[in-house]
Structure 1
Amino acid sequence: MDKLGSRCPLPGYPRPSVFICLLILIASFLTYPMLKTLSLQLHSTVTGSYVSGTYSIVFVNCPNEQIARDIARAILDKKLAASVNILPKASSLYFWNGEIEEATQILLLIKTKTSKVHMLSSYIRPKTQRACCSQL
């Protein structure tokens, strides 16, 4: 009887195996997004292949072609992107001081890893703000 009593849970408590399974199930649901992201990045790194969500295209407007070329070269020198396309004469319409304005700008299409978008944005933002303000 002692052996049987030691294996049975106390009344009112769930069996340990059910509790452990429930805990594992909850932990799996909570960590799934992180594990999925890590496994996709590992797969992409090991195989060198494209995995959805690992690469991004960033669009940046520049006031003229010289500034666009300077920014593109700097981005590539710092290895913040794999490629930059410069598309001339993009027509832009935007609100400025409550009025609709129209301007011709140069569009950069920057191809980079999604993991580098934040660094790229932090690097470009001050340069484009300075360039745009100097053109006003």
Structure 2
Amino acid sequence: MEMVMVYTTFPDWESAKKVVKALLEKKLIACANLREHRAFYWWNGQVEEDTEVGALLKTTVEKWKELREAIREMHPYEVPLIARIEVDKVNSEYAEWLEKVLS
């Protein structure tokens, strides 16, 4: 089992919770951490500033492609960030829990 984390952002708490709960129910992720932050970005030729909810999703490399597609289908953004972050090392107890939850 190889763990990866996936990072994405949402426009609000409601959409973040809705998508995360669906991903948990589909067993595509074992856990998620949500955090509100200020976002600054280019959109339609100008700099925008807004509040977003960042989601750090924990899963396995085997679930990556299915997870990416599920996020694309459910995500409210026209151009969502879906970034896979490789995990070099993780403690064995957490890795065992992750594998158990997602099997």
TM-score by length of 2: 0.70
**What is the aligned-residue identity percentage?**
31
Q: Which amino acid aligns with 1:107?
A: G
Of 76, 83, 87, which aligns to 2:35?
Answer: 87
What are the superposed Cα offsets for residues 37-65 of structure 1, whole Å, 9 maximum, x if unpaired? xxxxxxx4xxxxxxxxx111111111110
Larger strand proportion of the pair: 2
Larger RCO (alpha carbons 8 Å, 6+ apart) = 2
1:61 matches 2:9 = yes
TM-score (norm 1): 0.54
- Looking at structure 2, the residues matched to 58 and 103 of structure 1 have their Cα atoms a distance apart, in angstroms, of 22
Alignment of 1:78 onto 2:26: yes
Structure with bigger gyration radius: 1
Which letter maps to 2:47? Answer: I
1:71 is displaced (CA, Å) by 0.6
Across the aligned residues of Structure 1 and Structure 2, the Cα RMSD in angstroms comes to 1.3
Correspondence for 1:132 among 71, 77, 80: 77
**Higher helix residue share:** 1
Q: Deviations over 1:81-125 (max 9, x none)?
A: 11011112x111111112111111011110000121111010011
Q: Which runs of 5+ in 2 are unaligned?
A: 79-103
SS at match of 2:71: helix
Task: Tell me how far apart the structure 2 counterparts of residues 124 and 132 of structure 1 sit (CA, whole Å).
Answer: 10
Structure 1 gap segments, 5+ residues each = 1-43, 45-53
Q: Which runs of 4+ in 1 moved over 3 A?
A: none
* Cα distance between partner residues in 2 of 1:114 and 1:92: 28
Q: Say whether residues 1:111 and 2:58 are aligned partners.
A: yes
Tell me the distance in 1 between the aligned counterparts of 2:29 and 2:52. Answer: 21
